Amino acid sequence: MIKNNAFWREVIDYLPNLILVFRVDEQEEAHLIFCNNNITEYLGYAPKEYVLASETGSEVKDELKDLIDEVARRSHDVDDISARPCTLTTKFGEQRHFGVDFRLFKTKAAQTSLIAVELKELHDVAEEQVAPQVSDAGENHKPKTGAKSTGSFFVAESDVMKTVLHNVERLLDQPDQNIMLRGEPGTGKRTLARMIIETLEERGAQAIILNKDDLEDPEHAREKLHAVANQEYDIAVGLWGIDTIDVEIQSELSSVLNKRKDQELTTRVISTSTKSLEELVEAGKFDAELFYALSFSPVLLPPLRHRKADLGKIVDTYLERSSRFLNMKVPDLAEEDYQKIMEEKWEGNLPDLFDVLRNSLLKSDEDEFNLRLEPEQQFQLFPEETISEDEIIAFDDMNRRYLARILKLTDGKIYGEDGAAALLDLKPTTLQSKLKRLGLK
């Protein structure tokens, strides 16, 4: 009888697909404890490195939480057992789509619940199979960059957006030009940046992405910069949220770029920024040399309130894709609904618009779309702003009553777009843990 776990680890490493094993703790939270060597082939991480990243505040942790939520949904929601692919990001920022299969089990040696997840890469995921990524893009209105669609859509019917895409096209034809995309939060900077990166990849460049989490974490940023410095061919570097970069990392980035320039290696930096870098330079929080090197060819993305000619197409495309993904009928908006949308300022830009459309879609009847521009009315726990000592109850008791009301509102449903977890903006597994602790079922 083989007692050495190393044997089974070696066997799993020979399996063709990516295998992840999670341990479920007493609070019903899942923790990644093992992944086979295929993690390196698919995502570029060493197994131990990926396990460690899963426990930190990184993109890896967030993506694995979504994966576990999908497993939990398919395990518990008897009304919806449809399989959905998951998206995982490689060490260098590339997104890959996987089909998900799993098994829940316990071992005799330790009565700990385990989840074994098998991920099979989907090379040709149809756009409708992937949850719509909220951004400003359109399937019939892609820029002339030849960028591949990754599930996002990019609408450019207004004159201002046509000008933006014309400028991007012009800059792409200049091999030595870096491109900085600037604009308010939620204007689609990262979506356009990804499309630019994909175009450069099609032209032969290798891409390395430093997302906002990388730039805010010096250790992660240095790992990516080390990868940039050691590439011996033309590369495209994506910097999402360069206005968040640490001053020390700015200096190291400048050194890496200058070193590659001395080696006559092409490095095209595609960056995004929400804040005014000029103000950061004046305040001594951003290196002036790096600023001028990266922002020599800036592209300003307009806010949604300046893109009235795009709004109708954005709304129609988002609702069509969301409805198809949720297996719902595509709604027909009344002319007055379009007029209300046009009159809104959309201070939060696309995320605000998509929140309204998503909530309206989920709360509408199948035969009639009800546009809800106002936020959901909150529950009023107490009729008066002030309460007497007699009204004071234990904190857990108050939570128990409140969650019981939410469960009644959703007919006991936890998972799904219209479940209690979504209503409370909680992970379903987190809500289940709270319900269990409070003795609610």
How far from 114 is each of 19, 25, 203, 358, CA to CA, in Å? 13, 9, 44, 34
* Chain centre distance of CA 86: 11
CATH code for position 233? 3.40.50.300
The pLDDT tens digits of the residues spanning 276-291 come to 889 999 998 998 889 9
* Chain centre distance of CA 355: 15
- Enter the tokens of residue 157: 């019917």
Count the domains in the chain. 4
The pLDDT tens digits of the residues spanning 168-222 come to 999 998 888 899 999 999 999 988 998 898 888 888 888 888 877 777 778 878 8
- Kindly state whether residue 220 falls inside one of the protein's structural domains: yes
**DSSP secondary structure, 171-209, as one string:** HHTSTT--EEEE-STTSSHHHHHHHHHHHHHHTT-EEEE
CATH code for position 81? 3.30.450.20
Indicate if 164 and 298 belong to the same structural domain. Answer: yes
- Which of 124, 149, 183 represents a domain boundary (last residue)? 124
User: Residue 251's CB: how many other CB atoms inside 10 A?
Assistant: 13
Indicate if 332 and 291 belong to the same structural domain. Answer: no
Indicate if 35 and 67 belong to the same structural domain. Answer: yes
Indicate if 178 and 296 belong to the same structural domain. Answer: yes
Asked if residues 158 and 213 have their Cβ atoms less than 8 Å apart, the reply is no
Secondary structure letter of residue 3 according to DSSP: -
How far from 329 is each of 322, 357, 362, 363, CA to CA, in Å? 10, 14, 11, 13
**Domain that includes residue 327, residue range:** 307-363
- Which of 302, 328, 355 represents a domain boundary (last residue)? 302
User: Residue 230's CB: how many other CB atoms inside 10 A?
Assistant: 8
- Kindly state whether residue 66 falls inside one of the protein's structural domains: yes
The residue length of the chain stands at: 441
- Kindly state whether residue 116 falls inside one of the protein's structural domains: yes
- Kindly state whether residue 376 falls inside one of the protein's structural domains: no
Say how far apart CA 20 and CA 68 lie, in whole Å: 11
pLDDT, block means (10 residues), the chain with 441 residues: 60 83 85 90 86 81 89 64 73 79 78 86 43 36 33 78 92 89 92 88 85 77 87 87 88 91 91 91 90 87 93 90 73 90 92 86 76 60 50 72 82 78 75 78 66
- Kindly state whether residue 380 falls inside one of the protein's structural domains: no
Indicate if 249 and 341 belong to the same structural domain. Answer: no
- Which of 79, 109, 124 represents a domain boundary (last residue)? 124
